[in-house]
Structure 1
Amino acid sequence: MTSSSTLFRKLNLAFIIGGLVWAALQTYIIHSFGFDWYIAGLDSMVSAVPLAAACWLIDNNLRYYQPGKGSYINLFIWCVVLAGACTLAVRWALPFLSVGDTYIAFLKQSLIIRLFTNFLAIGWMAMISLVWYVQQDQKENEKRKTEAEQLARDAELYNLRQQLQPHFLFNSLNSINALIGFKPDEARRMIHQLSDFLRGTLKKDDQQQVSLSEELQHLNLYLDIEKVRFGHRLQTEISCDDKCRQAMLPPLLLQPIVENAIKFGLYDTTGEVTISVRAETEDNYLLVMVQNPYDPQTSRPRHGTGFGIRGIQRRLYLLFARNDLVETYQNDDIFTIMIKIPQV
């Protein structure tokens, strides 16, 4: 609102200065025909009032209505009509101010020139106003489009994150239900862990990146819950140096990847499985690699398998406009997901 008011004041100031310059020029021209400064100034003042009103009217109309491509002829007609009205106003007003017969004769002889100059002034005003307001409308449209795209992107990011939670939440609640009967202490501990995890999830915002250290703290909460579910079968290895811990990444990015690794690593096996998470920095990128073993006979992970990986790919595209930040590899019985996070 403040910027709009400042702009409006600047436009009014420019309009006033332009009117004064026009009036001064007209005064000088009339004086050069042999009339004294009083008559020249009187003519200029009387002529400037209807001309300023006409320019204000055309500018005010164009502020709220821009003619289409087929309607410019209407704008031309309006300029002609307003120029004629200004000329007639001067023609009938000046004789009442006792300016003398010589000046009245000069006034009548200069009507055509006055009509032409009035048309030029109003036409220039119309053209400048039209160009100005069209540009302002384009800027407003671009701003609205950008805001709409931002809202749509935020809504999609939010939707992607929300789709990641129910599966994990239902499994956790089922595990808590199973623990209540014979391991109530474990059930209470799992409830506290789940509460901390969900509280951290709700506080996250995709527009504000977090450090890898903070992301790993949140991931450990998730892994603690999963270890209650799977017991000794789930082992984890997390390795990264101190430099990596300061790298930034979108929040809650690792949990769905690790969840995907647990799904394909543990669901089809009965033995102990180790999920490894390794991070390093390389060429202004944070590289995070998640590996899990899998049985090729019972589990056939493919590129983009599961909503977790597809959701991560979509999130990274929405945030960085790139489709090359997620890669998957299969080597013997190890499945690897690697994500690259650009570091600004």
Structure 2
Amino acid sequence: MSPRDRGSAPRLAPRPNLVQAFAISYGLWLLPTLLRWSLGTFEGRLVAYEGVAVPLLYLAVLVVIGAVYGVAARRGASLKAACAWSLLAAAPAISVLLGLDYMMGQWFPQFHNPELRYPHSLGHALLIGLGESVTLCALLAAIVFLPLFAREHEDRDRELELARRDAELLRVRTHLEPHFILNSLNAVAGLVEDDPAQARELLAALGDLLREATRFEPLHKVRDEITWLQRYVVIHEIRHPRLHATWDVQPETLDLYCPALILQPLVENAIKHGALRGGGQLAVRAAVVGDRLELTVEDDGPELLPERAGGNGLTIVRRRLEIEAAGATALELGREAGRTVARVRLAIDRRGEA
């Protein structure tokens, strides 16, 4: 499955962090209780009792919430539905547990909290527990489920951003392909009358190139990029015998990844506006420099002209690099030692390696 196909997988409800929820909910009770005890307004025996009863209460309720939520999520329920079912199951559980807690105060007066009015029957205790379960449910819902809703919102925003980037990349590629086809056909058009046999041969080679280009994923290995470019440049070398290309590709770059055909507009630009107007020398290099993959296209053509610095091909390359998070500044175009140099710097990407 390609990286662009991952968004088609069914969305799974996120898993709640019950340990974090327990720590937060227990802390909300523990800190003020210990403060009151330190100030002498809460008896130590009550702290000891509730120090056991309260965590057991929260733990039991969170277990119920987690179990029901897990069952609902496995059955394909949405996040909202799974949360609703969990809280509906938690309410009676809280009622029973609070009812038992109230009755403990009745059965064991030494743990009686004078601030509370304890019921005299289990039925009355359950009714009180049911009322208080609403408040406790609201507290636990906020602690357990609000992070899930926030995470889902972030995931949806991320998916929307990826969809926007994919749409923009598709738009850029639809500009690139007609641009490449038109200029490639122009490269062989001159042979139709001068050498029809060679023109047919080059058109067949061009057809092979186009067929391969349509099969490329948005990212592929540097070795695939260089192999395709070498076949592309051969067409121009046959069309223009004085054109000569050299390839300096470090072995460690071959299995790194780069945007597919990212160098094609740069090579085309170097041939058309550079090498064919100069000494016919074209060089393509790939090297690892520090923590970057550097892909370089050089020619011995004349000084940069406005048409060369702002051509459609370079605009496409800049926009594509910007979309794919490399940044528009990843492309540099300038003069070095009397040669025109176009350099693409990319973060090293070894996806697919074991």
TM-score normalised by L of structure 1? 0.64
Q: Which amino acid aligns with 1:215?
A: E
State the partner residue of 2:254: 245
2:103 touches 2:121 (CA, 8 Å); kept in 1? Answer: yes
Aligned-partner SS, 2:344:
strand
Letter in 2 for 1:279: A
| Amino acid paired to 1:8 | A
Distance 1:321 1:211, change over 3 A: closer
1:105 maps to none
2:234 aligned to which of 224, 232, 238: 224
- 2:104 is the counterpart of 1:40: no
| Aligned Cα root-mean-square deviation (Å) | 3.3
Per the alignment, residue 266 of structure 2 pairs with: 257
Contact 2:275-2:282 at 8 Å conserved across structures: no
User: Do structure 1's residue 204 and structure 2's residue 216 form an aligned pair?
Assistant: yes
Find out whether 1:19 has 2:92 as its counterpart. Answer: yes
Name the counterpart of 2:26: none
Which range is displaced more, 194-203 or 238-247? 238-247
Amino acid at match of 1:325: A
Change (3 A) 1:313 1:28: closer
How many Å apart are 1:120 and its aligned residue? 3.9
SS of aligned partner of 2:315: helix
CA distance, structure 2, for counterparts of residue 259 and residue 228 of structure 1:
15
Tell me which amino acid in the other structure corresponds to 2:242: R
Tell me, in whole angstroms, the C-alpha distance in 2 between the residues paired with 1:278 and 1:150: 31
Q: Secondary structure, in 3 states, of the residue corresponding to 1:249? A: strand
Provide structure 1 residue ranges, at least 5 long, that are not aligned to the other structure.
48-113
CA distance in 2: counterparts of 1:228 and 1:306, whole angstroms: 25
Change (3 A) 1:24 1:15: same
Counterpart of 1:288 in structure 2 is 295
1:330 and 2:330 aligned = no
**Contact preservation (8 Å) 1:212, 1:245:** yes
Q: Sort the Cα spacing of 1:177 and 1:119 in 2 relative to 1 into closer, same or farther, 3 A.
A: same
Residue aligned with 2:324, SS? helix
Please state whether the residue corresponding to 1:330 is helix, strand or coil. Answer: strand
Larger radius of gyration: 1
Q: Is the 8 A contact 1:27 1:43 kept in 2?
A: no
2:314 aligned partner, one-letter code: I
Offset, 1:217: 0.6
Which whole-Å CA distance do the structure 2 matches of 1:266 and 1:166 have between them?
23
* Residues 122-141 of structure 1 mapped to structure 2, 5 A cutoff: 122-129=134-141, 135-141=147-153
- Give the deviation of 1:215 after TM superposition: 0.9
Equivalent in 51, 72, 77 of residue 8 of structure 1: 72
For residues 310 and 105 of structure 2, the distance between their equivalents in structure 1, rounded to whole angstroms, comes to 87
Q: Answer yes or no: is 1:213 the counterpart of 2:223.
A: yes
For residues 132 and 32 of structure 1, what CA distance do their matches in structure 2 show? 29
Q: How many pairs are equivalent?
A: 264
Residues 105-254 of structure 1: pairs in structure 2 closer than 5 A? 114=128, 119-129=131-141, 135-206=147-218, 208=219, 210-229=220-239, 231-254=240-263
Q: Within 1, Cα distance between the matches of 2:246 and 2:262?
A: 18
Equivalent pair of 2:297/2:343 in contact (CA under 8 Å): yes
Cα distance in structure 2, aligned partners of 1:226 and 1:214: 19
**Aligned mates of 2:122, 2:132 — CA distance in 1:** 21
1:29 aligns with 2:102: yes
For residues 184-232 of structure 1, the C-alpha deviation after alignment (integer angstroms, 9 at most, x for no partner) is: 32122222211221122112222x3x22221111101211222343x21
| % identical aligned pairs | 23
- For 1:11-38, what per-residue CA distance to the aligned partner results, in whole angstroms no more than 9, with x for missing partners? 656754663353243245358658xxxx
Structure 1 partner of 2:42: none
Q: 1:285–1:342: 8 Å Cα contact kept in structure 2? A: yes
Q: Which residue of 2 aligns with 1:97?
A: none
Q: Identify unmatched segments of 5+ residues in structure 2.
A: 1-9, 14-68, 74-81, 108-119, 350-354
Instruction: Name the one with the larger helix percent.
Output: 1
Alpha-carbon distance in 2 for matches of 1:149, 1:17: 37
Normalized against structure 2, the TM-score is what? 0.63
C-alpha displacement of 1:306: 1.7
Provide the C-alpha distance between the structure 2 equivalents of 1:185 and 1:258, rounded to a whole number of angstroms: 26
